[in-house]
Structure 1
Amino acid sequence: MESKEKKLGLGALILMIFTSVYGFNNIPRSFYLMGYAAIPWFILAGITFFVPYAFMVAEYGSAFKNETGGIYSWMEKSVGPKYAFVATFMWYTSYVLWMVNICSGIWVPVSNALFGSDTSATWKLFGMDFLSGPRLLGVFGIIFMIFITFIGSKGLNSIQKVTNVGGIAVIVINIVVLVGGIVMVIMNHGHFAQPFEGMHSLSTSLNADYVGNPVMILSFIVYALFAYGGLEAVGGLVDKTENPKKTFPKGVLIAAIVVVVGYSVLILLVGSFTNYKEVMGTDGVHLGNVSYVIMGNFGRMFGETIGVSSATAIAMGHNFARIYGLIMLLSLLGAFFTLSYSPLKQIIDGTPEELWPGKMGITRESDGMPVNAMKVQCVIVCVMIFGVSFGGNAMAKFFVILTDMVNVGMTIPYIFIAAAFPAFKKLTDLDRPFVMFKSSGSTKFFTFLVSAMLIFANVFAIIQPAMGGDIMTTVWTFAGPVIFSVAALLMYHRYEVKMRSRVK
């Protein structure tokens, strides 16, 4: 009996790609780092990375639609199992570091949701100085990780409900800022809180650290590339699309334009209500809380624009920060539930069970959840959180290094995927329902373009701290992918020895 599964039309496809890729948090962070000068880099990354890489992923996904191992299966079939395992293991470990990061950082939106501002640095448990600040957040983070693992291992459908609510709420906040920003520009007769001076604003960063520092500026490309993360999900949409040969390329191109324009317009509108020096230049503003600071400022400035009293405008600012804190909390919860098992499940489903120590490679028969591996993952994350939270200043510095390792670690596997694409195109025994790159020349050109863009961005992201005197961060950011690669190679060598001994 034929499947009655409803296919995605052009509009639904664009929405699916948009929600998989677009992240509102990238907008205030980019404005904080570069101001209006972030816009050209988003456009460049969209043209040289987003569009060609999306089509590569679509070809992989359509040809290997019946494979359960995701990106591992793509590379394993195209190049070989060792190559695939090293790349996928690096991709997975970046999510482990991401979880360590979020377990400590999630209390910023909690604080904003409760109090309208970030007070997490001043929290104490029962008035004890020992359990305050980073240590208390570490304890909360460990409890949170255990809770997520417990609930996630149950495979509950309620996880999807949290994700859906968070996703809808983030779309709403984008619309609110878009409409509110335009209203403020109109009511202020085109006046921007941060003056926009055409090409000068687009080419000169508002952040003093970036002015006259080309390495810092070029390292920003990594942030622009992160803004287009999540493209792996696109690979599974080809066979779910109506008339994919015509609809899919059109959907990807329109979605790319929508995402690029969305980022560019909203970065511009942030400047319409945010004076960089007055808001970004104050003490206590950093990458972790800048989104909430900007949203609080949005509420206050909107109140002043429509003519409410000063006290009411300030209250509106606190309430907007609360609402945004709640929205980001829901969004992060949904993402955390999904990422606590999805990357792990993907790599375990694609690899032989014997490759993993003990019972880590065994999944639950009823729903395929990698419960044993999730427990081991929970222990590793909790140990790292404990070390970062209770390790003093040295470990606090290590936490900064961890964040940089996440940034680099999440994009390096994309290089492996892109580099494997020519080998994938040479395979002759595949049913290819969707083909975008029809010639050897176009395959080689776009493989080179995407790979070069990723390598270029990561090189500058790695060397940038050293150029500013922070050699340790550069060393460890470079060492991270090397350590993960060596760990993956050792695991694979152990597997090969085990398999050879069985043959004998």
Structure 2
Amino acid sequence: MNNHKSEKKIMWYSLAFMAFSTVWGFGNVINGFSEYGGLKAIVSWALIFAIYFVPYALMVGEMGSAFKEAGGGVSSWILETIGPRMAYLAGWTYWIVHMPYISQKPNGAVIATSWAIFRDARISQMDVKLMAVICLALFLFAVWVASKGIGVLNKLTSLAGSTMFIMSILFIIMMIAAPAITGADVMDIEWSVETFMPTFDSKFFLNLSILVFAVGGCEKISPYVNKMKNPAKDFSRGMITLAIMVTVCAVLGTISLGMMFDSNNIPPDLMTNGAYYAFQKLGEYYHVGDFFVVVYALTNLIGQFAVLILSIDAPLRMLLDSADDNYIPKAMFKQNKHGTYTNGHKLVMVIVSLLIIVPAFGIESVDVLVKWLVKVNSVCMPLRYLWVFVAYIALKKAGDKFHAEYRFVKNKTVGIIFGVWCFAFTAFACIGGIYSEDPFQLVMNIVTPFVLIGLGFIMPIIAKRSKNK
């Protein structure tokens, strides 16, 4: 019995590390640097962590604690607090926003492959239509692999994830130490308010979705709250440690990039090739040639492909395993001998194929495509966080009906205010993120989320018809 107990408890620092790898990635630092004026991104990151990320993570903790038995994450919280129809919509949103995310992954894999082989930025010159064809082929292969229900993937993803994490931390340490160790000639950073203070203009607010998209997703760790030694005290300690770790990484990562790239003259292809340029320069500083860039490219390739396959299957399972056939047509539940939802995979195949092919007809360069994919993801992905805050508001409204060992705030009204604030902030970021000066991209940014969420309202109608038959 004791043995069982001791193995069960998670320490607060273990939780912080587990959450760190699900929330943060080196790509976030690059995207922030690119869209927020280089070193000016530091203040933007600090603000978003303080006013959004910390309350968000602590709310998730309270819900994880209140609904110990609920396995389905956000949709099961909504089911407990509001009801089945809303729970279905929450589950649908959570699943469907993964479609643009899935469509982004083959691009990342192709870019990584190009860097691993050629070790230069030639991918930016590639014809967008050819890129789309390669990405489509890669995606269809991934669907085939996912249909085989492979269990080894989890291990592969966590291995690639931890390697990427180690590499980004290593990059920061080695970069900051480079001038001292190797006498590397780096950019001089002028330590003044002008260097770091962002301009709070329309561009700042229209790009908020990129920051929100980067820090979201910590609801994945809610199941672990009750596995902690002392949830009431340790969870908030773990989450605040997480926030500090992420802030330190964002700040030091941005400074490292500021030592390589001029903040007032950011390369237009930074989102496509930035991480590779960074590791390539690091290799030059330490006189190891292209060693770092090849290692990073290969890890990224494995990571992107593993996440691609996992994202085709895992969110779909979350939707269908706990779904109600009043809202989802019976045909969607059909499984093959590997336990894979075959019709669900077909639906993913149709939606994602369109998301890969259509942009190729209106976007003329790979760099613009990569930027657009980040943007459309930053508009769609955070829509699922809205449900986290809806669930929290409902939980607070219910008063003492649900017992939670860990509470973010004890006061009902204060809790509701926090929930409403985070909901409004997320919604504002998503709506702002839609704007684009390019008419084609603007239309795509509007159509994509509306069509994806709209499909969710059609499903129950089809389900009702197939039941009546």
State TM-score, norm by structure 1.
0.82
CA deviations on 1:390-423 (whole Å, 9 max, x unpaired) are x465899899766533211111221232133121
Q: Mark the structure with the bigger radius of gyration.
A: 1
Rounded Cα–Cα distance in structure 1 between residues aligned with 2:440 and 2:130: 27
Question: Equivalent residue for 1:67?
Answer: 70
Structure 2 contact 108–301 (Cα < 8 Å) conserved: no
CA 498–60 in structure 1, closer or farther in 2 if over 3 Å, else same: farther
1:316-351 CA-to-partner distances (Å, cap 9, x unmatched) read: 2x3332222112112212322321211111111232
Distance in 1 (alpha carbons) for counterparts of 2:252 and 2:133: 40
Q: Distance in 2 between matches of 1:81 and 1:471?
A: 39
Give CA deviations for 1:339-388 in whole Å, capped at 9, x if unaligned.
Answer: 1211111111232135334521245687x643431233124323443444
Cα distance in 2 between the residues matched to 1:395 and 1:114: 21
Match of 1:296 among 245, 255, 280: 280
Counterpart-to-counterpart distance in 1, 2:453 and 2:355:
19
Distance in 1, Cα, partners of 2:372 & 2:116: 28
Check whether the contact 2:32–2:41 (CA below 8 A) recurs between aligned residues.
yes
Task: Output the CA distance in 2 between the equivalents of 1:370 and 1:64.
Answer: 27
1:80-91 equivalence runs, <5 A: 80-91=83-94
Report 1:456-475 matches (<5 A): 456-463=428-435, 465=436, 469-475=437-443
Question: How many angstroms apart in 1 are the aligned matches of 2:170 and 2:373?
Answer: 34
Give 2:73's aligned amino acid. G
1:57-456 equivalent positions in 2, closer than 5 A: 57-120=60-123, 133-186=127-180, 193-204=187-198, 214-276=201-263, 280-281=266-267, 285-300=269-284, 302-303=285-286, 316=289, 318-357=290-329, 359-363=331-335, 369-389=340-360, 391=361, 403-427=374-398, 429-456=401-428
| Greater Cα offset, 185-194 or 399-408 | 185-194
Between the two proteins, the alignment pairs up a number of residues equal to 464
Distance 1:166 1:461, change over 3 A: same
CA contact (8 A) 1:194 1:274 kept: no
CA 1:108 to 1:401, structure 2 compared with 1: closer, same or farther past 3 Å? closer
- Judged with a 3 Å threshold, the aligned counterparts in structure 2 of structure 1 residues 387 and 471 are, in CA distance, closer, same or farther, namely closer
CA distances 1:4-27 after superposition (whole Å, capped 9, x unpaired): 543211221111111111111111
Mapped partners of 2:422, 2:234: distance in 1: 23
Contact 2:164 2:299 in 1 (8 A): yes
Percent identity over the alignment is: 23
Partner of 1:11: 13
Q: Deviations over 1:52-99 (max 9, x none)?
A: 111221222233333333211112222233333334323322211111
1:165-200 Cα distance to aligned partner (Å, 9 max, x none) = 212211221232122122124358898504233211
CA shift, 1:263, in A, is 0.8
Relative to 1, partners in 2 of residues 1:163 and 1:197: Cα closer, same or farther, differing over 3 Å? same
CA distance in 2, matches of 1:103, 1:179: 30
Q: Which amino acid aligns with 1:41?
A: S
Contact 1:363 1:371 (8 Å CA) reproduced: yes
- Aligned amino acid, residue 168 of structure 1: S
Q: Which amino acid aligns with 1:423?
A: A
Displacement of 1:238 after TM fit?
Answer: 0.5
Equivalent of residue 452 in structure 2, options 484, 495, 498: 484
Equivalent residues of 2:26, 2:168 under 8 A apart: yes
2:124 and 2:262 map into 1 onto residues whose CA distance is 25
Structure 1 consecutive aligned stretches of length 4 or more whose deviation exceeds 6 Å: 188-191, 394-400
The structure-2 alpha-carbon separation of the partners of 1:473 and 1:146, relative to structure 1 and needing over 3 Å to count, comes to closer
In 2, distance between residues paired with 1:478 and 1:362? 32
Match of 1:307 in 2: none
> Distance in 2 between the 1:273 and 1:103 partners?
28
Cα displacement (A) at 1:433? 3.4
The structural deviation recorded for 1:259 is 0.8
8 Å CA contact retained: 2:326, 2:460: no
TM-score, structure 2 as length reference: 0.88
Query: What is the CA–CA distance in structure 2 between the aligned matches of 1:186 and 1:28, rounded to whole Å?
Result: 24
Assess if the C-alpha contact under 8 Å between 2:210 and 2:375 holds in 1: no
* 8 Å Cα contact 1:354-1:361 kept in structure 2: no
Q: CA deviation at 1:438?
A: 1.1
Matching residue's letter, 2:280: G
Deviation at 1:213, TM superposition (A): 7.8
Query: What is the SS of the residue equivalent to 1:106?
Result: helix
Paired letter, 2:158: N
- Secondary structure of the residue that 2:196 maps to in structure 1? helix
Deviations 1:248-291 (Å, cap 9, x if unpaired)? 1111111111111211111112212333467x34xx62422222
Which string of whole-angstrom CA distances, capped at 9 and with x for unpartnered residues, describes residues 232-256 of structure 1?
2121111222221121111111111
Q: What are the superposed Cα offsets for residues 216-244 of structure 1, whole Å, 9 maximum, x if unpaired? A: 12223222222212212121111222221
| Equivalent residues of 1:48, 1:453 under 8 A apart | no
Aligned residue for 2:406, secondary structure, equals coil
Instruction: Give the corresponding residue for 1:308.
Output: none
- Tell me the distance in 2 between the aligned counterparts of 1:197 and 1:108: 34
Q: 1:493 to 1:10 in 2, by over 3 A?
A: same
Q: 1:46 to 1:457 in 2, by over 3 A?
A: same
Name structure 1 gaps, 5 residues minimum: 124-132, 205-211, 304-312
Q: From the superposition, tell whether residues 77 and 494 of structure 1 become closer, same or farther in structure 2 (CA, over 3 Å).
A: farther
Amino acid at match of 1:241: M
Paired residue secondary structure (2:408): coil
Q: What letter matches 1:338 in structure 2?
A: L
Q: CA RMSD in A?
A: 3.1
1-structure distance, mates of 2:141, 2:43: 42
Amino acid at match of 2:269: V
- 2:30 pairs with one of 28, 34, 39: 28
Whole-Å Cα distance in 2 between the matches of residues 30 and 235 of structure 1?
27
Distance in 1 (CA, whole Å) between partners of 2:353 and 2:439 is 28
